Structure 1
Amino acid sequence: EVGILADTFVGEEGRTTRSEQIDIYGYAVLDPASDVDPSHKCSPAVQGFSFNWTLFEIRIGARAVVTEHNIPLDPMVTMSNHSILHLPPHSVEVGRYRVQLEACARGVSEPLCGTTQRFFEVERQALRAIIRGGNSRVGENTTLLLDASDSEDPDNPEGPLRYSWRCNRADGDVCTTPSNFDSNFYREAIQFSLQPFPVVMMRLLGSLEGIWYNMSLTVSRGEGDEGQRSFASVYFIVHKGDIPYGVIDRVPSPISQYTPLRL
């Protein structure tokens, strides 16, 4: 009998993500119905088992044709009657897989082997849009920084991300609308805020007392059906006083989701 332990397989439902290590446990025991009886003096002694793991990626092509592609595997841990297949984080892509295990008894004159298989799925994770700079207070004519460089794609930590900033006033209008808006603030602050970089700069001016703004960030990666995007927001509030100052307040529950990006 050859088996893959379900209770230690990738999740209870055979689901995992690229950022997680996958440990797949396989075992082999002698089938009582086989012709080999280790207790019989005339039977060869089974000296453990040899294991061979095979991993296939399942792809669906044109006209719903399903094909399998063999993925080379690194060495795994093998004992006398069980074997562990280790797949390090980010070693497999998002997709569906079939893992096959073959075990053959050692020390027998005739081949005695068994195989088993299981399926599992590596799911896509949502992008994480993160804005740093909360709880910062600045005075008049000082520069306020909003930093989104900690945003990440858990599936591809080294992959490039696109950043898009947007500023809205309390009435919902975009901050770059010139009407009823301080031209200096428009020139000094929002010009930087709309640049596609992870860090933006805002300069606080005295004429903005009593006004609050919502700075929202969209982080995206990829295009079409494979595209993803995630969101985060902070409030920028200018308080009245002898010396105007602004406070960045983090939105209590930042918006972060996986959304197909249509371009």
Structure 2
Amino acid sequence: MTDRLKLVTWNINSVRLRMPIVEHLIDEIAPDVICLQETKCPDANFPENAFRKAGYEHMAINGQKGYHGVATLSRRPLTNTEKRDFCNVGDSRHVAVDVPFNGSSLRLHNFYVPAGGDEPNREVNPKFGHKLDFMSEMHDWLQGEETDRPAVLVGDLNVAPYEHDVWSHKQLLKVVSHTPVETELFESVREKGGWLDAMRQFTPLEEKLYTWWSYRAKDWSKADKGRRLDHVWVSGPLAPHVKGTTVMREARGWEKPSDHAPVIAVFEA
């Protein structure tokens, strides 16, 4: 008997404000698991009832008032919830759970990596230093025991690592999210843990691939000045089970949208 798991990751930019388009997403693709970032609400105010009504009885929420926040919602039971406080600053930027899959389970990490501010210099911009420190902690942790098992890491990782993950490699080399210091550290995190970039398994490196378009553009779709900030990584043991990834670009054009599009990943065993 085949086990098929459909997962979606989405920086929602306020879950309460955008619950209507989350419900639209559920109606459109009926995912088994939803990973949200930038939920922007404390756990007590999370719209649990709306998710339960939609069939998502199982939740792992790590939120805070007005900022950050991650949440994993599931039709399948969730166990072994872990919330890691990166850099010991009290931000809600990570939650991990075990999800039943293929007669056993997979470890699912849901991340919201700091954006890093505007100036790519930690001496004058502490936010950029925080981002690099956060990724360094990811590098030291997300290996060995964490990746020797079936595992998937998703979320808004706020780095566009490759040339065609941004609309202009040349123009964005000094722009936070695509600077060499970020992209090199990002790749070292992925490679050290033996993680596979699942999205680029299905879209060749020479093809443009974006998940985020700024609100500032008058016509975001026509301008198409995007970046790939949202990612799906899988561990070696899970890699054979990834059957596809898709960016739901059309969701960026829904009413009162997030500036990120959802990314879908499908696993089969």
TM-score category by the smaller chain? under 0.3
Q: Which has the larger radius of gyration?
A: 1
Report the TM-score when normalising by structure 1. 0.21
Q: Greater relative contact order (Cα 8 A, min sep 6): structure 1 or 2? A: 2
Looking at secondary structure, tell me which structure has more strand per residue: 1
